[in-house]
Amino acid sequence: MAKKIAVLVGSLRKESYNRRIANEMIRLADGKLDMEIVEIGHLPLYNEDLDHNPPQEWIDFRDEIKSADGILVVSPEYNRTIPGALKNAIDVGSRPYGSSAWPGKPGAVVTSSVSALGGLAANHHIRQAFVFVDVPLMQQPEAYIGNASQLFKHDGNTLVEDTQTFLQSFVDAFQQWVEKF
């Protein structure tokens, strides 16, 4: 039985490059990992005052994360750091204190950007946050996908062959990482 992987996409834009990359990774993992995007854009901002009576969206999100066997983040970089919606999701999943949904779930991070740097700073900031919430992250291969706007064929959804090949190797390595746990 394939391991269940919660995929978090840091961009909320419907046609984002990161969502397209995440969908391609889901396709490439078919039969190896059961990957599904867990939406984060609807989560109310984390506020500790609400922990005693959390919004249903928080409860549902935490349950989805708890039921997952692993975590894959596919995200852009906003202002050299983590997109706000993604940081909020990490915070929502880590609370209330002592009841985090994250610990021990193997994870991986892919960042992409229209710039040549491929979301390098965001990748490292995401890693920093996940280290604190005890998500053991795959170290290699690293995935900083630059020039994302140029990586799709004319249909706008299909990645060029070199990027597909790289993502397949990443998915294969991630599957091995998840199986270790």
Least confident of 54-63, 66-75, 105-114, 150-159: 150-159
Q: What SS3 state is found at 8?
A: strand
pLDDT bucket at 151, cuts 50 / 70 / 90: confident
Structural tokens at position 122: 């965001």
Mean pLDDT of 76-105: 97
Write the DSSP symbol of residue 148. Answer: G
pLDDT bucket at 162, cuts 50 / 70 / 90: very high
Res 156: pLDDT: 73
**Mean pLDDT over each residue of the chain, to the nearest integer:** 95
Q: What SS3 state is found at 123?
A: helix
Res 84: pLDDT: 98
Res 1: pLDDT: 84
- Angle formed at CA 109 by CA 23 and CA 161, multiple of 5 degrees: 45
Assigned CATH topology for domain 3-179: Rossmann fold (3.40.50)
- pLDDT per residue over 118-145, tens digit each? 999 999 999 999 999 999 999 999 999 9
Mean pLDDT of 146-152: 88
Q: CA 21, CA 82: separation in Å to the nearest integer? A: 17
- pLDDT per residue over 9-66, tens digit each? 999 999 899 999 999 999 999 999 999 999 999 999 999 999 999 999 999 999 999 9
Amino acid letter at 140? Q
Mean pLDDT of 91-107: 97
